[in-house]
């Protein structure tokens, strides 16, 4: 299977399946000397875990991250950091009845068409469980970014087309009916310096978009005003430049912190739209892998809304992208190269 690695310099490879013994990630390109311990992973991993709230389904996923390599005496060594997360709460028997059925809204059919074989226990690599490795890797990325003042604020802003604060009743109704709802996650990234990203194919927004679309169930990504920009005028959409405290800044932020594929120093504003959870308990029309039409009702433990648990995955992919882009950017200017490598006698 191709496509399990992400990044150029700060490169992450995730591995494992949802119902295998474990999954995890290998992080290559992490600089030496970064303090790192298992405790550093817990805040992000806790945000990814299910809970007993109205928008989730309680499951016992401890998701403790074990560091297998790349750390010595509490600091990274510059070698690949290998991370392991053991699967401890699989209910594989729940998936027996659908072993030969393609679930509507899932990747089952496409996976079988591509590989001729599929792991029906939760979807294997197509499961949302795969994102645990991404989030673990992002804990390292966020720690690197925090050292240079980059921070994240991520939240669910709408569920089923309603503001999150008004959505609890709609979620309860969907859950009771055996249905699900879509959601929108917003991520605000502060402290990104101007000048990050490339002006052609590797635009910062293009790389962020590709990273965010790699998350299962994502159907749209917006930067700044997003689709609203198409219905505004240039005079409304342009961000005037100003000088404040000797720095060039924008007076507004319709562009969402990125112009011409390069960061402009303003907050990067991202909104990510998730489709409704495809695993619903309503009866649905489908087919078997033998080519027969049938019906299916999905059983098991499934969240009625994806956004609350996916918000940290959005943040994770943004952090991995920015860490990689900021490392790439170190090669953009000769003066930076000389400042790092010039010997005192030159």
234-291 pLDDT tens trace? 999 999 999 999 999 999 999 999 999 999 999 999 999 999 999 999 999 999 999 9
- Looking at per-residue confidence, does 93 or 141 come out higher? 141
State residue 55's pLDDT score.
Answer: 66
User: Does residue 53 carry a pLDDT above 80?
Assistant: no
Mean pLDDT of 169-177: 94
Mean pLDDT of 288-314: 92
In this structure, of 55-59, 222-226, 324-328, the range with the lowest mean pLDDT score is 55-59
State residue 144's pLDDT score.
Answer: 98
Q: Residue 157: CA atoms inside 13 Å, Cβ hemisphere, count?
A: 12
Residues 6 or more apart whose Cβ sits within 8 Å of residue 216: 107, 126, 127, 128, 130, 131
User: Does residue 210 carry a pLDDT above 80?
Assistant: yes
User: Does residue 58 carry a pLDDT above 60?
Assistant: no
Mean pLDDT of 45-68: 78
Residues 6 or more apart whose Cβ sits within 8 Å of residue 186: 154, 155, 156, 157, 269, 270, 271, 272
CB atoms within 10 A of CB 296: 18
Tokens of 321: 């992208």
State residue 40's pLDDT score.
Answer: 98
Do 153 and 188 meet the contact criterion of CB atoms below 8 Å apart?
A: yes
Tokens of 246: 């000797």
Nearest 10 degrees: Cα torsion 253, 256, 262, 264: 30
Mean pLDDT of 6-20: 94
Domain assignments of the chain as residue spans, ordered by start:
5-341
Do 114 and 27 meet the contact criterion of CB atoms below 8 Å apart?
A: no
Question: What percent of the chain has pLDDT above 70?
Answer: 95
Mean pLDDT of 49-56: 67
Do 267 and 188 meet the contact criterion of CB atoms below 8 Å apart?
A: yes
CATH topology of domain 5-341: Chorismate synthase, AroC fold (3.60.150)
pTM check: above 0.85: yes
Question: What percent of the chain has pLDDT above 90?
Answer: 82
Mean pLDDT of 71-97: 87
State residue 2's pLDDT score.
Answer: 86
User: Does residue 90 carry a pLDDT above 70?
Assistant: no
State residue 199's pLDDT score.
Answer: 96
Mean pLDDT of 286-298: 94
Do 181 and 304 meet the contact criterion of CB atoms below 8 Å apart?
A: yes
Do 83 and 25 meet the contact criterion of CB atoms below 8 Å apart?
A: yes
User: Does residue 229 carry a pLDDT above 70?
Assistant: yes
CB atoms within 10 A of CB 144: 19
State residue 62's pLDDT score.
Answer: 78
**Greatest C-alpha distance within the chain:** 78
């Amino acid at each position: 299977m191709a496509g399990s690695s992400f990044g150029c310099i700060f490169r992450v490879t995730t591995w494992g399946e949802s119902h295998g013994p474990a999954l995890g990630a290998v992080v290559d390109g992490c600089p030496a000397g970064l303090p790192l311990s298992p405790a550093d992973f817990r805040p992000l991993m806790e945000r990814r875990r299910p809970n007993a709230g109205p928008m989730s389904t309680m499951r016992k996923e401890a998701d403790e991250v074990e560091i297998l390599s790349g750390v010595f005496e509490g600091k990274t060594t510059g070698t690949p950091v290998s991370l392991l997360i053991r699967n401890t709460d699989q209910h594989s028997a729940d998936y027996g009845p659908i072993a030969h059925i393609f679930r509507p809204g899932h990747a089952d059919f496409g996976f079988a068409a591509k590989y001729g074989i599929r792991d029906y226990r939760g979807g294997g690599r197509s499961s949302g469980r795969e994102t645990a490795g991404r989030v673990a890797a992002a804990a390292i990325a966020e720690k690197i970014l925090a050292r240079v003042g980059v921070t994240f604020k991520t939240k669910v802003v709408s569920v089923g087309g309603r503001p999150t604060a008004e959505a609890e009743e709609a979620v309860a109704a969907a859950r009771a009916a055996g249905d699900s709802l879509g959601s929108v996650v917003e991520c605000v990234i502060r402290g990104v310096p101007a000048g990050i990203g490339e002006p052609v194919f590797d635009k910062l927004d293009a790389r962020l978009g590709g990273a965010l679309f790699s998350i299962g169930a994502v159907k749209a990504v917006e930067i700044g005003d997003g689709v609203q920009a198409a219905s505004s005028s240039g005079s409304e959409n342009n961000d005037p430049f100003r000088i404040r405290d000797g720095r060039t800044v924008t007076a507004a932020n319709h562009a969402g912190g990125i112009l011409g594929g390069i960061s402009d120093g303003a907050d990067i504003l991202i909104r990510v739209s998730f489709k409704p959870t495809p695993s619903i308990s309503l009866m649905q029309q489908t087919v078997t892998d033998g080519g027969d039409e049938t019906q299916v009702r999905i059983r098991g433990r499934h969240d009625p809304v994806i956004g609350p648990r996916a918000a940290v995955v959005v943040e994770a992919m943004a952090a991995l992208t920015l860490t990689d882009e900021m490392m790439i950017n170190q090669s953009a200017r000769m003066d930076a190269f000389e400042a790092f490598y010039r010997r005192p006698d030159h």
